[in-house]
């Protein structure tokens, strides 16, 4: 399978790491992935009250999925975090390649769940989706 075939019909893995934030977690995760022929497609990270949620979308060879998952399980034990991975064929483009996106920023001294629900409802009513 050449690189053009992989881009047209990617085999991707979505990695979700959660746990208590500490120095070296991201470094250890990416060191675990480094031996494999992987391309990082997207990374999102949130830390709230010392809790880390890190998601990584990767492009990989389907033959490596089981080995990647096994190594991620070992990494989770070593770091005392939870890591889940989901692998699948992906034919859609990344958010970076999408056009016509609108960015919404909500600022307030106090944002309530109801305010976010209203915002999300208004976006959905126009056919939009929060990404």
- Specify if 74 maps to a domain: yes
Confidence at 92, pLDDT banded by 50, 70, 90:
low
The torsion angles phi and psi of 117, rounded to 5 degrees, stand at -60, -45
**Measured on CA atoms in the order 47, 52, 53, 54, is the torsion positive or negative?**
positive
Q: What would the pLDDT profile of 18-74 be if each residue is shown by its tens digit? A: 999 999 999 999 999 999 999 998 899 999 999 999 999 999 999 999 999 999 999
- Specify if 125 maps to a domain: no
At 34, which CATH number? 3.30.70.260
Task: Name the domain count of the chain.
Answer: 1
8: containing domain: 3-96
Give the mean model confidence (pLDDT) for residues 108-123: 87
| Cα–Cα distance measured from residue 97 to residue 67, given in angstroms and rounded to the nearest whole number | 29
pTM: 0.75
Percent of the chain with pLDDT over 70: 88
- Specify if 67 maps to a domain: yes
| Cα–Cα distance measured from residue 35 to residue 32, given in angstroms and rounded to the nearest whole number | 7
């Amino acid at each position: 399978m050449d690189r053009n075939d992989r881009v047209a019909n990617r085999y991707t893995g979505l990695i979700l790491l959660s746990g208590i934030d500490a120095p070296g977690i991201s470094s250890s995760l990416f060191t675990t992935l480094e031996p494999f022929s992987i391309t990082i497609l997207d990374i999102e990270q949130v830390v709230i009250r010392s809790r880390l949620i890190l998601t990584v979308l990767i492009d990989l060879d389907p033959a490596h999925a089981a080995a990647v998952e096994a190594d991620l399980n070992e990494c989770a034990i070593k770091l005392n975090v939870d890591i889940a991975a989901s692998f699948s064929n992906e034919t859609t483009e990344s958010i970076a390649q999408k056009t016509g996106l609108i960015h919404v920023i909500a600022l307030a001294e106090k944002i309530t769940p109801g305010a976010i629900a209203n915002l999300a409802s208004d976006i959905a009513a126009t056919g939009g989706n929060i990404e």
